[in-house]
Structure 1
Amino acid sequence: MAISFTLSIAQISLITTTAILIFSTHSTATKTEIPSRPFKKVYAFGDSYTDTGNTHSSTGPSSFTYVSNPPYGTTFFHHPTNRYSDGRLVIDFVTQALSLPFLPPYRNPKSDKSYGVNFAVGGSTAIIHSFFVKNNLTLNITPQSLQTQLIWFNKFLESKGCKGSTTNTTQECEAALNDALFWVGEIGANDYAYSYAGSVPSETIQKLAIYSVTSFLQALLNKGAKYVLVQGLPPTGCLTLALSLAPTDDRDDMGCVGSVNKQTYVHNTILQARLNDFRKKFPQAVIVYADYWNAYANVVKGNYGFKELFKVCCGSGGGTYNFDVFGTCGSPASSACANPSQYINWDGVHLTEAMYKVLAHSFLNGTFSHPPFSYLLSKKLQSG
């Protein structure tokens, strides 16, 4: 269990001038005060929930090969940006809250990366891709894993004159690593999904996925990462794809697929224990766990004004879920709803901008982050 720290936002605002970010949720408008630019840059990692453009229609997950087509991106950007949503993602709301530009994808060589980089890849796994090839579980065309993202990050650091695999103290490394927030978005859901109905036991997937994530985190901490936020997995049994595949008698008290939700809940429990170990091993670092599972479940249970908890906004087939894996969002057979802000699910696996906004607020205001995000900010401000 993570230790709970309490520091009011008002106390933080006394340390430095504040910029007020207003998150308007469906029920009420909530103010969250965050110091103006507490971080100079953000480095993000993860899968399609965090990817801001490292994949596109020809390189992304095989079941969602239309991310470069409308209506993706139409809510906020008014055109596709290769984000797997109708608009902004959690990481976009985070950078806005920190008074920073949207993070450019690593694969875009022309982008300005002075304020950070996004290494997240749609379809990415925690476990190295060759494992799935070896076990004939290649249901996806995305070969990148969390290890790939670490390789990219190392190359980026080298381009800044920062080399070496352990803690760096050179001026170049300090410039690249200090004043940086490391945002590790959810990763591992694809590992479980790709092994669905396969011969590899779910316990093996769980063990390898946790090992991959913790090895990745250790590499970041060894390099000198001081401010790290790690998102857990969402209740993936609440996603339309899972609901459409599972038998109707496999449901929990939220109306989601019980067996799948239990799997991700156990994954998160083990991950939190590993993070506690890291807090003891790296006392100089602030490691925050963002409780994606309970933040999402809180929305499902409380609605927050969402009218459709499981039906997709953009899909095909009609019926209970309006979801057909052979006619996913952006395909000629699909169409989008007129009001995505009333839906949680955008395309059957990915969420709407409205849902991401609520989740971002849940993480940043401290309610579903342990310790609260405000504690991380206070430690950053105290360090100068």
Structure 2
Amino acid sequence: MASSLILLTITFTFIILSSPVTKCATSAKTATHPIPPFKSIYAFGDSYTDTGNTNSATGPNPYLYVSRSPYGQTFFHHPTNRYSDGRLVIDFLAQQLSLPFLPPYLSKTADKSYGINFAVAGSTAIIYSFFVKNNLTLNRTPQSLQTQLVWFNEFLESKGCKNSITTPKECKAVFDNALIWLGEIGANDYAYTFGSSVSGTTIQKLAIGSVTRFLEAILDKGVKYLVVQGLPPTGCLTLTRYLAAENDRDTLGCVASSNKQSYAHNTILQAKLNDFRKKFPNAVIVYADYWNAYASVVKNPEKYGIKELFKACCGSNSGLYNFDLFNTCGSPMATSCSNPSQYINWDGVHLTEGMYKAVAELLLEGKFSNPPFEYLLSRKRRSG
């Protein structure tokens, strides 16, 4: 029973549901980029990037309160189905590029002329059938990165784009002014198999293989500007610390075994991206180092106005971490702190807008992207 509970709780780690609000435009064009460098963004990933392809009715059972206050309180001033008090990294990206927030693919009424978000909360890199085969499907969404690729292909076919060889003109029309953003994907794969007979090595091989095939497929379509996020330091999340043994800690104060696993995954992913840069020399491929950007905030919290590294802002109002799996944020027994911008973690699993903002700035304006995001923008400007 205990092992089942641990597996159940771990599966909730990366479920972020996002906004159905699709027509909320950003502010006027910024001084940094008075003319938007891109006309559209197409995003993929899991809960950390989803802007509405799941909601409280379709997401995992433990988080039935995402459509209730205090979710969304900081920026939107009402629940938006984002698992945060406000905006996510993908929202800050859109604002940085002077574009509207990305609408979810599954929305039937959204204006998708400026891009689409295909990311799904709870999504895995590995195809769903693998988890079915291993009896690991409890309280999880069935979508995977493969699902998102199918959706993207359907969208491209509606534009007449099949691949860069047979339909070069049509694919060029889609990709010349489009930024492709692959948010972090793969953390769920490790979480869903925790405590099972499936080894971490097996998950690493299968997850990296799935991401590699996805990237090759979209690059073959003619993608020109691509950003790929790595995994965050999963050992720093409130729930992970809540479950792990006290002696399993690293120099950040986070769960050492989880952080080591995420870091190793990212190292292999970066090597794959180097291979793609050689194979597709005309594409600009940026690695967004989520792991080290996050760790930078943990190491220097005062620089970002952060005072609480591990305790949840919104939670059960009890215990060491203000976290109780059975009284999560939004439930009748939960309360929210008055200053979420001073917290890294929002609800025990997901991050505050303040943390997403800090990470976004480090990825888009700082030194935690390789090559720097500004290099991608300069290449785009030169190409017209």
TM-score, normalization: structure 1?
A: 0.89
Compute the displacement of 1:194 (Å): 0.6
Change (3 A) 1:167 1:365: farther
Deviations 1:138-182 (A, max 9, x none): 1333000000000111111122233x2555645443322220000
**Paired residues of 1:366 and 1:374 also in contact (CA < 8 A):** no
Matched, 1:48 2:59: no
Amino acid at match of 1:321: Y
After superposition, residues 28-107 of structure 1 pair within 5 angstroms as 33-34=32-33, 36-107=35-106
Whole-Å separation in 2 of the counterparts to 1:321 and 1:255: 14
Give the equivalent residue in structure 2 for 1:10.
Answer: none
**Paired residues of 1:125 and 1:146 also in contact (CA < 8 A):** yes
**3-state SS, counterpart of residue 228 of structure 2:** strand
Amino acid at match of 1:238: C
Give the equivalent residue in structure 1 for 2:329.
Answer: 329
Whole-Å separation in 2 of the counterparts to 1:354 and 1:102: 18
Give the equivalent residue in structure 1 for 2:363.
Answer: 363
Deviations 1:3-52 (A, max 9, x none): xxxxxxxxxxxxxxx9546xxxxxxxxxxx34520000000001111011
Select between 73-82 and 287-296 the one with higher mean Cα deviation.
73-82
**3-state SS, counterpart of residue 43 of structure 2:** strand
After superposition, residues 1-384 of structure 1 pair within 5 angstroms as 20=30, 33-34=32-33, 36-162=35-161, 164-165=162-163, 167=165, 169-303=167-301, 304-384=304-384
5+ long unaligned stretches in structure 1: 1-17, 22-32
**3-state SS, counterpart of residue 247 of structure 1:** coil
Amino acid at match of 1:65: L
Give the equivalent residue in structure 2 for 1:9.
Answer: none
**Paired residues of 1:35 and 1:98 also in contact (CA < 8 A):** no
**Paired residues of 1:125 and 1:189 also in contact (CA < 8 A):** yes
**Paired residues of 2:66 and 2:330 also in contact (CA < 8 A):** yes
Whole-Å separation in 1 of the counterparts to 2:203 and 2:132: 14
Whole-Å separation in 1 of the counterparts to 2:166 and 2:325: 47
**3-state SS, counterpart of residue 377 of structure 1:** helix
Select between 61-70 and 38-47 the one with higher mean Cα deviation.
61-70
Whole-Å separation in 2 of the counterparts to 1:250 and 1:294: 20
Amino acid at match of 2:216: Q
5+ long unaligned stretches in structure 2: 1-27
Amino acid at match of 2:225: Y
**3-state SS, counterpart of residue 146 of structure 2:** helix
Whole-Å separation in 2 of the counterparts to 1:251 and 1:350: 20
Whole-Å separation in 1 of the counterparts to 2:65 and 2:151: 25
Change (3 A) 1:187 1:331: same
Deviations 1:204-244 (A, max 9, x none): 00110101111111111000100000000000000011001
Whole-Å separation in 1 of the counterparts to 2:286 and 2:166: 23
Whole-Å separation in 2 of the counterparts to 1:212 and 1:366: 29
**Paired residues of 1:168 and 1:224 also in contact (CA < 8 A):** no
Select between 131-140 and 106-115 the one with higher mean Cα deviation.
131-140
Deviations 1:73-127 (A, max 9, x none): 1111111111111110000000001010000000101000000000011100010
Task: Calculate percent identity across the aligned residue pairs.
Answer: 71
Compute the displacement of 1:65 (Å): 2.9
**Paired residues of 2:48 and 2:183 also in contact (CA < 8 A):** yes
Compute the displacement of 1:318 (Å): 1.2
**3-state SS, counterpart of residue 106 of structure 2:** coil
Whole-Å separation in 1 of the counterparts to 2:103 and 2:375: 27
Whole-Å separation in 2 of the counterparts to 1:202 and 1:72: 33
Deviations 1:222-275 (A, max 9, x none): 001000000000000000110011000000011100000000000000000000
Change (3 A) 1:159 1:66: farther
**Paired residues of 1:44 and 1:119 also in contact (CA < 8 A):** yes
Amino acid at match of 1:99: S
Size of the aligned set, in residue pairs, is 355
Report the aligned-residue RMSD.
1.5
Whole-Å separation in 1 of the counterparts to 2:242 and 2:57: 25
**Paired residues of 2:163 and 2:171 also in contact (CA < 8 A):** no
Compute the displacement of 1:72 (Å): 1.3
Whole-Å separation in 1 of the counterparts to 2:167 and 2:176: 10
